[in-house]
């Protein structure tokens, strides 16, 4: 039975660094482009060329390492990882092996309300390979696109500390958020600029001896990661319970079938015949540079979420959603600054951002930087709501319009006639009419059935075409029902 087995996962994440040029040449790193247009003799792997290390790659790797609590190595060394594949014209990938740039560290995340940490083994720098394109020419033959060859990556390797699928997903989300906050990676799983391999094994519950693992590749969404591990656990448990053995191998997740398939048997390190890259000197990162980079780190998502809970009394949930990406958090801060005010305003802004605005953003698949709704405008909406100028339905309509067309909230309220009626005499006139038309309800209310106020409020709102200020309507009705006139 599956419940007799303990899942163990270790992650290897390849994150493309957001440098403008490649790691060892000046070619652009831009995604896409006509095949083989972002190339030069260096990234094409021509004989006789020499690589020159892009300083920004080192800086970004150190940034990531510092944010993840790694120890930054003063000296690290590039190594050749030899293997033969059409998308790798040199026949080797320049990576780091024995002496990577970062050691140790960890990813902090929250699971079921508890703070957790998964240890990292290392972070190293390497170049990306090209891409094989199948069936691209008129005769159906394959081609190789080397635009991606030489794009800088960091590989982040975790210890096999992860014990559940939820944990694997949360670790990966937290890691992605950190890299995006740092501005070193765009977090795009679909385009493959943030790629994750999951090493999966199972062992009997209670055991401390790790089982044989399989490495799962090609999971370009959090949903696929979940499905792939789920499938893999079932597969491994079935084999082990049938008396079989797990073969260490690399398996590919097929999203169409929801299953993993064997791709190749796992290479051992010696198969790669690693040796130090003779064309590059060791990388030196002086302590002063590390400190300079440390000082430039932004506030990270978890620190920000903690601050929102501490200073603005937001719930852990609200704080988590708001800080999941840096743009949303910055939009929130800017909105709050525009509105002014403390915890109460913060809660309102958080509700709108995580509710109505998030819904519209999801529908349009737009990031905050490309919204037409500005923080100043959203701050204005909150102010109008706080002043009672617009009620719930009005707020929704204004936000919808501002999100679609941009503009100024007060102008939208005026143009659409969304202001609610707070004028007592107008409300009283409507209330009098409703009370006169509902003698039975009035009598039952006065006999003690106070719940009927809801019905009466509804009637007044209906009479006022939904524009009555609910607080005023309530107060006027109460006064009239409780004897006063």
Binding site for ligand ADP (CB under 6 A): 8-12, 157-160, 199-201, 210-211, 213
Residue 460 interface partner, choices ligand ADP, Zn ion, none, CB cut-off 5-8 Å depending on type: none
Residue 412 interface partner, choices Zn ion, ligand ADP, none, CB cut-off 5-8 Å depending on type: none
Residue 25 interface partner, choices Zn ion, ligand ADP, none, CB cut-off 5-8 Å depending on type: Zn ion
Q: From the CB of 394, what's the least distance to Zn ion, in Å?
A: 56
Helix segments in 118-248, DSSP class H: 165-182, 222-241
Site size toward Zn ion (CB under 5 A) is 5
Whole-Å CA distances, 461 to 26, 422, 423, 473: 66, 12, 14, 8
| Alpha-carbon span 465 to 474, nearest angstrom | 16
Q: From the CB of 43, what's the least distance to Zn ion, in Å?
A: 3
The tokens 């972070």 sit on which residue?
123
**Given the complex with ligand ADP, which of 9 and 390 has the nearer CB atom?**
9
Residue 40 interface partner, choices Zn ion, ligand ADP, none, CB cut-off 5-8 Å depending on type: Zn ion
Q: How far is CA 282 from the centre of its chain?
A: 34
Q: From the CB of 200, what's the least distance to ligand ADP, in Å?
A: 6
Q: Judged by CB under 5 A, which stretch of 38-46, 127-135, 330-338, 388-396 contacts Zn ion?
A: 38-46
Listed residue (292, 280, 303, 286) closest to 72, CA to CA: 286
Burial class (CB in 10 A: 0-12, 13-18, 19+), 387: exposed
Return left, alpha or beta for 150; rule: phi > 0 is left, psi -120 to 50 is alpha, else beta.
left
**Given the complex with Zn ion, which of 27 and 182 has the nearer CB atom?**
27
Q: From the CB of 199, what's the least distance to ligand ADP, in Å?
A: 3
The residues, ordered by sequence, that sit 6+ positions from 30 with a Cβ below 8 Å of its Cβ are 38
| Beta-bridge mates of residue 415 | none
Q: From the CB of 28, what's the least distance to Zn ion, in Å?
A: 9
Query: Which DSSP helix (H) or strand (E) runs through 100?
Result: none
Q: Is 43 in the site for Zn ion (CB under 5 A)?
A: yes
| Beta-bridge mates of residue 118 | 107
Listed residue (223, 213, 224) closest to 253, CA to CA: 224
Q: Judged by CB under 5 A, which stretch of 7-15, 39-47, 337-345, 381-389 contacts Zn ion?
A: 39-47
- Residue of 7, 8, 9, 27 interacting with Zn ion (CB under 5 A): 27
| Alpha-carbon span 401 to 403, nearest angstrom | 5
**Given the complex with ligand ADP, which of 162 and 336 has the nearer CB atom?**
162
**Given the complex with ligand ADP, which of 12 and 249 has the nearer CB atom?**
12
What is the contact surface with Zn ion in residues (CB under 5 A)?
A: 25, 27, 40, 42-43
């Amino acid at each position: 039975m599956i419940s007799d087995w303990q899942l163990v996962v270790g992650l290897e994440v390849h994150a493309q660094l957001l440098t403008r040029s490649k790691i060892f040449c000046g070619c652009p790193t831009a995604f896409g482009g006509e095949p083989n247009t972002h190339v030069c003799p260096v990234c094409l792997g021509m004989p006789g060329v020499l690589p020159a290390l892009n300083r920004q790659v080192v800086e970004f790797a150190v940034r990531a390492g510092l944010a993840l609590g790694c120890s930054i190595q003063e000296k690290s060394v590039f190594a050749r990882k030899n293997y033969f594949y059409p998308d790798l014209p040199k026949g080797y990938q320049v990576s780091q092996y024995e002496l990577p740039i970062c050691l140790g560290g960890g990813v902090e995340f929250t699971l079921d309300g508890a703070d957790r940490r998964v240890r990292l083994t290392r972070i190293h720098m390497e170049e990306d390979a090209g891409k094989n394109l199948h069936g691209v020419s008129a005769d159906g033959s394959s081609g190789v696109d080397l635009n991606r060859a030489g794009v800088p990556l960091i590989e982040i390797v975790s210890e096999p500390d992860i014990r559940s699928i939820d944990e694997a997903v949360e670790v990966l989300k937290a890691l992605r958020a950190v890299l995006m906050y740092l501005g070193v990676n765009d977090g795009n799983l679909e385009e493959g600029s943030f790629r994750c391999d999951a090493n999966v094994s199972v062992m009997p519950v209670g055991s401390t001896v790790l089982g044989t693992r399989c490495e799962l590749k090609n999971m370009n969404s959090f949903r696929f990661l979940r499905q792939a591990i789920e499938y893999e656990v079932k597969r491994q448990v079935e084999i082990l319970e049938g008396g079989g053995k797990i073969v260490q191998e690399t398996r590919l997740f097929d999203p169409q079938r929801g299953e993993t398939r064997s791709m190749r048997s796992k290479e051992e390190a010696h198969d790669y015949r690693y040796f130090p890259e003779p064309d590059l000197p060791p990388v030196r990162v002086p302590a002063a540079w590390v400190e300079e980079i440390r000082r430039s780190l932004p506030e990270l998502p978890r620190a920000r979420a903690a601050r929102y809970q501490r200073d603005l009394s937001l719930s852990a949930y609200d704080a988590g959603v708001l800080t999941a990406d840096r743009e949303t958090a910055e939009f929130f801060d800017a909105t709050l600054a525009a509105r002014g005010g403390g915890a109460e305003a913060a809660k309102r802004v958080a509700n709108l951002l995580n509710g109505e605005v998030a819904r519209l953003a999801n529908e349009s698949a737009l990031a905050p930087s490309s919204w037409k709704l500005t923080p100043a405008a959203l701050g204005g909406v909150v102010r109008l709501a706080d002043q009672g100028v617009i009620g719930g339905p009005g707020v929704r309509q204004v936000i919808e319009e501002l999100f679609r067309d941009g503009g100024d909230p007060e102008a939208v309220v005026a143009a659409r006639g969304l202001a609610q009626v707070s004028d007592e005499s107008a409300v009283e006139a409507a209330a009098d009419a409703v009370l006169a038309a509902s003698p039975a309800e009035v009598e039952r209310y006065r006999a003690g059935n106070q719940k009927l106020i809801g019905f009466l409020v509804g009637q007044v709102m209906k009479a006022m075409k939904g524009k009555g200020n609910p607080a005023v309507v309530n107060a006027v009705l109460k006064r009239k029902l409780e004897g006063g006139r």
